[in-house]
Amino acid sequence: MNPQLLYQEDPTKLEFEASVVEILTLPNSRKGVVLDKTYFYPTGGGQEYDTGQIGSARVVEVYEDEGHSNLVHVVEGEVNLGLVQAHIDAERRLRHMQHHTAQHLLTQCLLRQTGLETVSANINGYSPSTLDIVGMQINKSDLEQAELLANRIIYEDRIVKTYVVSPMVLISIPLRRPPKVTENIRIVEIDRYDYSPCGGTHVLHTGSIGLVKVLKAEHQNDRLRIYFIAGLQAMEVFSQMYDTFSSLANQMTISWQDIPEVVSKQADQLSTIQKDFQALQQASIRYEAHELVVKAEEYTGIRLLRASFEGRPVNELRMMAEELKQIPDLVAFLATYDGLKLSLVVSCGEASGRDARQLLSLQLAIFNGRGGGDAKLAQGGGMATDEQYRTFLQQVNLG
């Protein structure tokens, strides 16, 4: 066994003694440590690195050097050449072992259920892990069946074996995928179920995975990406979800199982209320628009309306303008201001002889505003001071 890959021999060993044989100066003023032997796992195969301690220094990353002959432990803190005690973070290691073994198992279950092969995976014990499969479609039933099958294998608590084989022996093993190396080929076997060449860390029995839950599947270029959680992370997610659902259920005085049905009914009711509100709002704005018309000024054969509404949503002004443009001889300028931006809506009746788009451009030119529309209704705006807003409508230019 390579002294740099001892995690493959015993993934449960989290404390060990080793010698610091080299201290490296890395880019960005980081410090690297090379040990004569190590149980730390480096980033690779879709699985993230271990963290922990080397002496008093914190290990924040582990990676293989360019020649793949040494593992570099990136540390924060002081470390000296010589004998040290090392410690691997137990929870992070367990989370990655649970997810990596779950990925092997779920991949095999999906293959048996759908015939679709996994081409890549990303293992993360703190956020959903993913696997990418060849294919653009997978139905919900197939995902559910694969998930159910995976959990059955977990409950059977099958042994997870690792062993190194020669190329001669390899041909007798029903591998799910071919190895990427030609010697010292390490096989991870879920007893009599899945055989995969892999250099990662794995639990010793499927029962240690706890459970696996598929979250969703989505398209990713020409592949289908499946998100899943397992083990400690799955327990955390389900605990948070249960607490959330229970809290909502208590507020609604129902059982948490009834939340989907109740929320669906409330959504329908809300949609009806919103439609009723919009109808009332439109009626109110139509009434308000006609109330404003009486304040219009006579101006060379047309009626001119200027009105400002500080802090009012511009969409309400547009609704008002839609009503005002129906009045043949009326030209209306409606402005609103939110403290930073001045918005303007202009409407022109058919008989006014004016073009709303041209009038809008004339007004917005004062403060380099922008907008657009047509001859009957145009809308735009720009950044303006409070003083500009106060005097804006008094400077209306009809061309």
Mean pLDDT value across the chain: 94
Residues 80-89 have pLDDT tens digits of 999 999 999 9
d(CA 27, CA 24): 10
**Amino acid in position 221:** N
Highest mean pLDDT among 5-14, 61-70, 82-91: 82-91
* Mean per-residue pLDDT, 252-279: 94
Q: Residue 182 pLDDT > 90, yes or no?
A: no
Domain 6-88, classified CATH 2.40.30.130, yes or no = yes
Residue 68 pLDDT: 62
Q: With pLDDT > 70 as the criterion, what percentage of the chain qualifies?
A: 99
**Amino acid in position 32:** G
Residue 1 pLDDT: 53
Identical fold, 6-88 and 93-238: no
Residues 278-330 have pLDDT tens digits of 999 999 999 999 999 998 999 888 999 999 998 899 999 999 999 999 999 99
Is the distance from CB of 359 to CB of 321 less than 8 angstroms? Answer: no
pTM comes to 0.76
Q: Residue 45 pLDDT > 90, yes or no?
A: no
| Distance, first Cα to last Cα, the chain | 88
Residue 394 pLDDT: 83
Is the distance from CB of 320 to CB of 285 less than 8 angstroms? Answer: yes
| DSSP symbol at 255 | -
Is the distance from CB of 138 to CB of 224 less than 8 angstroms? Answer: yes
Q: Give the least confident one: 9-18, 46-55, 61-70, 94-103.
A: 61-70
Task: Tell me how far CA of residue 158 lies from CA of 54, 151, 231, 236, 328, in angstroms.
Answer: 34, 11, 16, 24, 83
* Mean per-residue pLDDT, 191-201: 96
Token readout for 363 is: 């007004």
Angle at which helix 140-155 crosses helix 90-114, to 10 degrees, equals 130
d(CA 355, CA 375): 4
3-state secondary structure of 119: strand
Token readout for 78 is: 């002081």
Q: With pLDDT > 90 as the criterion, what percentage of the chain qualifies?
A: 87
Token readout for 273 is: 């209320």
Residues 131-160 have pLDDT tens digits of 999 888 899 999 999 999 999 999 999 999
Task: Tell me how far CA of residue 132 lies from CA of 56, 126, 175, 268, in angstroms.
Answer: 40, 19, 18, 37
The domain locations on the chain are 6-88, 93-238, 287-395
Residue 247 pLDDT: 95
Residue 2 pLDDT: 72
Q: Is 347 exposed, middle or buried (0-12, 13-18, 19+ CB in 10 A)?
A: buried
Q: Is 124 exposed, middle or buried (0-12, 13-18, 19+ CB in 10 A)?
A: middle
| DSSP symbol at 69 | S
Residue 203 pLDDT: 98
Token readout for 23 is: 């201290």
Angle at which helix 231-252 crosses helix 259-293, to 10 degrees, equals 60
> What are phi and psi for residue 135, nearest 5 degrees?
135, 155
Residue 69 pLDDT: 77
Residue 336 pLDDT: 94
CATH topology of domain 93-238: Threonyl-tRNA Synthetase; Chain A, domain 2 (3.30.980)
As beta bridge partners, residue 16 has 86
Q: Is the sign of the CA dihedral 115, 121, 125, 127 positive or negative?
A: negative
* CATH number, domain 287-395: 3.10.310.40
Q: What is the residue whose two structure tokens read 């839609």? A: 322
